[in-house]
Amino acid sequence: MSTEGMSAPPLADFPPAARALLAELSARPYENLSKIVAYHKSGSPESAQDVAAGWLEDHARSGLGGTCFSLTHWLKIRLDGLGLSTAYLMADKPATHKHRMPDIHCGLLCEHAGRAYLLDPGYLIFEPIPLPRAGLSVSTFIPPNEIRVEDVAGAGVWRLSTGPRDASGRPALKPRFDFRREPVSAAEFERHWEASHQWEMMGYPVLNRVRDGVQYYLQKNNLLIRSAGAGEMKKLDEEGVRRAARDLFGLPEGLVDEALGLLAGGRGTR
């Protein structure tokens, strides 16, 4: 891990039990299909009550994953159980985007041994990132992407930027989210979680995972496959989306068929 203007602690200092929890999460995909199906079966939004300590184990047995809220909440439950200090962070799309989107993502602030870390399983970052201060930034390469977190002076946010490295090894970073430095309460986190069922992205498939240093990202019928220094975009037909959800993301065929049927009928959660 490299830094600009600050010294990054060795990540071996981060508790091994906490790193093991992040490794557990890394084996599951980010996916919204199970959230869509669950909403239609229960008639109510997914909430913290649905994500108990054994939630990930249940999802692993059935081949499911989750979205940023469920992944983040599960991690918080387990880290709190280890005696670590954690808090919910909400994030906005930064002003560099055409349309600013508030409270569109979430993560955790985790404090350990006098240091603050960002934990962001919803964006497939399964390494604790030391949080900078005083306008400094921290960068690390987690294949296949460069990760950069910057303290934006005067804005009260940590800006997360990611992107691949080009053939010469230079990162092509894009701002992704602005994490507000002020944590939110569990009640506010729940309100944003409930509101997420009405987001535009709940009207089409969104699947994401990193496996063996290769990222697979499916949005609608567009599949991005990215490895270090290379990327390929494919446009899939309906059957191709089904195969990708099953073969690349490990989702059970029955759930995929049910979710895509709901979406085809205009019955996403939004």
pLDDT of residue 52: 84
Q: Cα–Cα distance between 226 and 233 in angstroms, integer?
A: 9
Residue 125 is encoded by which pair of tokens? 């970052």
Query: One digit per residue, pLDDT tens: the chain, 270 residues?
Result: 544 544 344 455 789 999 999 999 999 999 999 999 999 988 889 988 888 878 988 888 999 999 999 999 999 999 999 999 999 999 999 876 566 689 999 999 999 999 999 999 999 999 999 999 999 999 999 999 999 999 998 899 999 999 998 777 788 899 999 999 999 999 999 999 999 999 999 999 999 999 999 999 999 999 999 998 789 999 999 999 999 999 999 999 999 999 999 999 887 776
CB 259 within 8 A of CB 205: yes
CB 129 within 8 A of CB 117: yes
Beta partners for residue 108, in sequence order:
88, 119
Classify residue 131 by its DSSP letter: P
Strand order of the sheet with strand 115-120?
A: 2-4, 137-142, 145-152, 157-163, 174-180, 85-92, 105-112, 115-120, 125-130
Dihedral, 66, 23, 105, 189 alpha carbons, nearest 10 = 80
pLDDT of residue 8: 46
Q: Cα–Cα distance between 145 and 126 in angstroms, integer?
A: 12
Domains of the chain: 2-264 (3.30.2140.20)
CB 92 within 8 A of CB 101: yes
CB 181 within 8 A of CB 156: yes
Q: Cα–Cα distance between 228 and 79 in angstroms, integer?
A: 31
In 3D space, the residue among 200, 240, 232, 238 whose CA is nearest the CA of residue 216 turns out to be 232
pLDDT of residue 165: 85
Residue 198 is encoded by which pair of tokens? 């009405």
Classify residue 127 by its DSSP letter: E
Question: What amino acid is encoded at 230 in this protein?
Answer: A
Question: What amino acid is encoded at 212 in this protein?
Answer: D
pTM: 0.92
Classify residue 72 by its DSSP letter: H
Element (H, E) at 101: none
